[in-house]
Structure 1
Amino acid sequence: MSNVCEITGKSFMIGNNVSHSKRRTKRRFNPNLFNRKFYLPEEDRWVSLKVSATGLRYINKVGIHAAIKSAKEKGFLRTKI
């Protein structure tokens, strides 16, 4: 569970490597994750999250407080914040 976005819940996907001769071997597509610190002005503290690029765009759109609240409701945020 380490390669999971804590805001959107994105995790790896399974797919195939396809060679020129069309031989298929299994592979994993990992999400584009970043370790970022965010400041919560309501609580006057910093929070570190593992966030995907889509999660960063979502945080920029709705704000960090609303993003954390929706992640808790959906069960993506496992740590106590």
Structure 2
Amino acid sequence: MSRVCQITGKRPMVGHHISHSNTKTKRKFYPNLLKKRFFHPEEKRWITLRVSANGLRVINKKGLATALNEAKEKGYITKY
């Protein structure tokens, strides 16, 4: 399973470790992903999503159905 948020589409970013001597080596910054279950009231079932902390805030603000529809339109999620 890839490290991608299913609501916001956040992915790992690439950057540098910078040592005391200013040597730069590649590193990755991973999103804060959580595996979370949500109850979908229209379908009357539980859905498990892999969402970032920011994705949880989006779901709390807009609601689960709206957030899922927007994620489908943007291509972040195909089925749930």
TM class by smaller structure: over 0.9
Percent same amino acid at aligned positions?
55
Give 1:34 deviation, angstroms: 0.2
Q: Residues of 1 paired with 2:68 and 2:41: CA distance?
A: 13
Please report the RMSD computed on the Cα atoms of aligned residues, expressed in angstroms.
Answer: 0.9
TM-score in terms of structure 1 length: 0.95
SS of residue in 2 equivalent to 1:4 = coil
Distance 1:68 1:13 in 2: 24
Q: Secondary structure at the match of 2:51?
A: strand
Partner of 2:8: 8
Aligned residue number for residue 22 of structure 1: 22
2:75 corresponds to which residue?
Answer: 75
How many residues are paired up? 80
1:52 aligned onto 2:20: no
Deviation digits for residues 14-73 of structure 1, max 9, x if unmatched? 000001111000000000000000001111000000000100000000000100000000
Show structure 2 runs of 5+ residues with no match: none
